[in-house]
Structure 1
Amino acid sequence: MKKILYVGQIAIEGSASCTHVRNRARFFNNIGYEVYGLSECPKNECDKVEDTDFLKYIYMKPFHGKGKVRGAGWIADQFLGIHTYNEIIRALKFISPDIIILYELNSIVVEERIRAYCERHNIRLIIEVTEWMEVENRKEIATRGIVWQKDIQKRYIDKRCGNIIAISEFLYEHYRNQGCNVIRLPPLVYDFADKDQVFRDRDAVKLRQVKLVFAGTTDFKDYLEPMLKAIRKINNNEIKIIFDVVGPSPDAIESMLECSSPTQYGINCYGHLSHENTLSIVRKADFSVLMRENKRYAKAGVSTKFVEAMSLAVPSICTAVGGTDAFVTDGVDGVLIKDNSVHEVLDKLVQITNMDSSKILQMKLNALKTAKQVFSEGQYYNVAKCFLEGEGFDSQNKEEAKL
């Protein structure tokens, strides 16, 4: 069996990158590859992610020192990449892979050195791209530098490798226009809800309430303030919407809501939860929430939490920015909002609260159907197999890659 070495920050349990790469590894394993994941070593040994049947983890040696010394070493390595490069070479010599996939690696130096190494040793190198952040979205100097470096990669460096896995249509078109050998491969899901068990919460139906959920962070990408304020308005006299918020701290929610007791407006703050506990809350919701700005980062990425919600028969309320929302048909398997203004959000929430329960249930079933059509591996199997093996594409496969 041929081998793939995945390289990136992919071993933080419950993180989007960890979930993403696990599902990728499962897909590639089904195609016929043995997959290894090389990741930074966590600070605590007990935090290491366990191997699965389709993904074996290799951990880099920890950075030297502790506290600020260790942090300074990490920051330097995101640019110079000496530590990361040496650890990749160590892993290459250990497993002798046929393919290396660099998953959103920060350092340009590492990417260029690994490209040269792969050319010398006849190893197929693939760059997987899942985001494209704006530099101005970050305030810290070091983080701005890293984001700027990744911007340079996408504009000028990745095309030197030429083999690209793009998560979105936006990124697919960007690299195709650069002349790269590129396939579009959205997040894949393996755990779908059972159609016969799709239901609405009995208490919510009885009380004529709608249950919303947000699971994620509010750093740089997602926006909750307009949703929170709109829910406060609509729930001012009567609780019509229950909003479960997982991820942000209760203090952050209270600050955005300008209220010390969000529960009085039907807003429940859970803070950080495990991935398993988060999904147990998501699957009970009528709709998930994904609000983003009309910027490049929103167009380039595809939200993992959005995909997971749809696979659990939970349609999303999305800002129409031309990114993740491209998978939503308004009023059929989700709800699109024009912008993030409180007025626009409030208008959509009023429409949702006035929906018949059977309409909401049908939207949930439609979301599940869409997820199975778009985020299951079947339609991508042939095109991905050809891509990994370096074979050419016929016109049919090119169209399949763009689905």
Structure 2
Amino acid sequence: MRRTGWVACVGPFLFPWGEAGSRRVYGLVASLAAAGYDVVVAGGGPEPLTSTALPGVDGPGSVAHLGLAERPSPEAGPLGSSVQTLVRWGQRTVRWLDAQPTKPSHVLVHGGQAQYMFHLQRWCRRHRVPLIVDVVDWFNGRHVRGGYLGPLHVSMKLALRHYYPRCDGIIAISSYLEDHYRGSGRPVLRVPPTLDVKGLTLEARQTAGDAPPLTLAYAGNPHGNRKDLLGTVIEAVGNVQRDGTSVELRVYGPTLDEVRRLFGGRSLPDGVRCLGRLPQVEVSNALQGADFTVLVRRPERAADAGFSTKFCESLASGTPVIANLTSDMGRYLHPHREGLVCRDHSVAEVTGAFRAAAALSSAQRSVMRQAARSQALESFDYRAYAEPLGRFFRRWG
């Protein structure tokens, strides 16, 4: 059923591609379009200058997008970038909202921290437009520029503790955040990372033979081993290779020098291939070329509050995952079904998981690939959340 009015989705994220936030927003607005809403995404990049239709979204609604250049340009320099993100963030978005001939029925915001929320919340209250925030992380000061006492971390925590609980509604990416914001008394809906799983084409793979060489993949940004423990993964690869097992680890994202630093400056084991950054449209094909992707993280609050997009992308690509369980991964990753589970993030546990993976036959790996894909279709396709998101937004008309 087609809804009246339109939804403004705003924030200083790149859209439709460019970062993890891009994919998160794409899934949410695609679900809203499938629920019958017309959505205009006003992102943080400089383009397109005018509203442009986004093709490939199923549903009676639609998605269009434009850029408001909320993100500082590369030419801005340190001072200009700081002024934009710590003082002016959100002002361009508010001016754009003021310029619209009709006000949106809802505003959905992703990112921006305290400064952005200050401007946006005032606008929504003044115009009596419900403001719904998408919360995807509980930031760790070790992971941001300036550390715990830096202005960026202070802004992030002010948004998490003050501005987000005062929005009209909250979309939480994980059970941790869902439980936390239930205490605010605001309506909360949990939506994991979503994408167009049905629209993803899978390449056929051979299933003949026993115990073929093991191919692993890692795609992402480990943030100096503070987020993803890529150094632990490489150490485990070396251990398995010393057993005489053939294993290849394909690393997409960090450069060779960055990977070497993560490994303490030591020589990388044979079979570790650093392939650099990939365009987003090529990520699925790269993941499909591996038997498993690997995701190892410390079980800390930041990991439990967030939810790895790369985990969902791997299952959607039909590639099982080897991981220790953080956040809500245990809902979707079951031992020897959608992948292999490490009991903790230690080198010994990851090494044991790699040995178990290498011992699997092609037929066994194929069964896991099918289970991974089935789980993604059921749990991470944006169409599955059209009805709950539509019902959530209808709370406010």
Give the TM-score band, short-chain normalised: 0.7 to 0.9
Q: Which string of whole-angstrom CA distances, capped at 9 and with x for unpartnered residues, describes residues 76-117 of structure 1?
A: 33333x3522433323422632111110222x2432332232
Q: Which string of whole-angstrom CA distances, capped at 9 and with x for unpartnered residues, describes residues 315-359 of structure 1?
A: 111122344344211221122112222111111111111123222
Matches within 5 A, 1:252-401: 252-257=258-263, 262=268, 265-390=270-395
Local SS of the residue matching 2:86: coil
Letter in 2 for 1:360: R
Cα distance change, pair 364–79 in 1 and its aligned pair in 2 (3 A): same
Local SS of the residue matching 2:83: helix
Matches within 5 A, 1:4-403: 4-11=7-14, 13-42=17-46, 51-53=53-55, 54-61=62-69, 67=75, 69-80=76-87, 82-94=88-100, 96-106=103-113, 108-140=114-146, 144-192=150-198, 199=205, 208-219=212-223, 220-236=226-242, 238=244, 240-257=246-263, 262=268, 265-390=270-395
Aligned partners of 1:14 and 1:111: how far apart in 2?
Answer: 22
CA-CA distance at 1:282 after TM superposition: 0.5
Aligned partners of 1:374 and 1:134: how far apart in 2?
Answer: 28
CA-CA distance at 1:164 after TM superposition: 0.4
Letter in 2 for 1:26: A
Residue pair 1:213, 1:282 contacting (<8 A) in 2 also:
yes
Higher-helix-fraction structure: 1
Letter in 1 for 2:127: H
Letter in 2 for 1:236: R
Residue pair 1:288, 1:309 contacting (<8 A) in 2 also:
yes
Aligned partners of 2:282 and 2:51: how far apart in 1?
Answer: 17
TM-score when normalising by structure 1? 0.85
Cα distance change, pair 184–316 in 1 and its aligned pair in 2 (3 A): same
Q: Which string of whole-angstrom CA distances, capped at 9 and with x for unpartnered residues, describes residues 231-255 of structure 1?
A: 0121136452121110010112233
Aligned partners of 1:114 and 1:194: how far apart in 2?
Answer: 35
Letter in 2 for 1:190: D
Local SS of the residue matching 1:268: strand
Local SS of the residue matching 1:340: coil
Local SS of the residue matching 2:42: strand
CA-CA distance at 1:174 after TM superposition: 0.8
Cα distance change, pair 216–49 in 1 and its aligned pair in 2 (3 A): farther
TM-score when normalising by structure 2? 0.86
Give the stretch that moved more between structures: 26-35 or 144-153. 144-153
Letter in 1 for 2:64: K
Aligned partners of 2:179 and 2:380: how far apart in 1?
Answer: 20
Aligned partners of 2:235 and 2:283: how far apart in 1?
Answer: 23
Give the stretch that moved more between structures: 321-330 or 361-370. 321-330
Greater RCO, CA 8 A, separation 6+: 2
Letter in 2 for 1:52: L
Local SS of the residue matching 1:318: strand
**C-alpha RMSD of matched pairs (Å):** 3.1
Aligned partners of 2:265 and 2:49: how far apart in 1?
Answer: 36
Aligned partners of 2:289 and 2:199: how far apart in 1?
Answer: 11
Aligned partners of 1:196 and 1:273: how far apart in 2?
Answer: 18
**Structure 1: runs of 5 or more not aligned:** 393-403
Residue pair 1:169, 1:184 contacting (<8 A) in 2 also:
yes
Residue pair 1:187, 1:375 contacting (<8 A) in 2 also:
yes
Aligned partners of 2:386 and 2:340: how far apart in 1?
Answer: 30
Letter in 1 for 2:33: N
CA-CA distance at 1:41 after TM superposition: 3.2
Aligned partners of 2:238 and 2:372: how far apart in 1?
Answer: 27
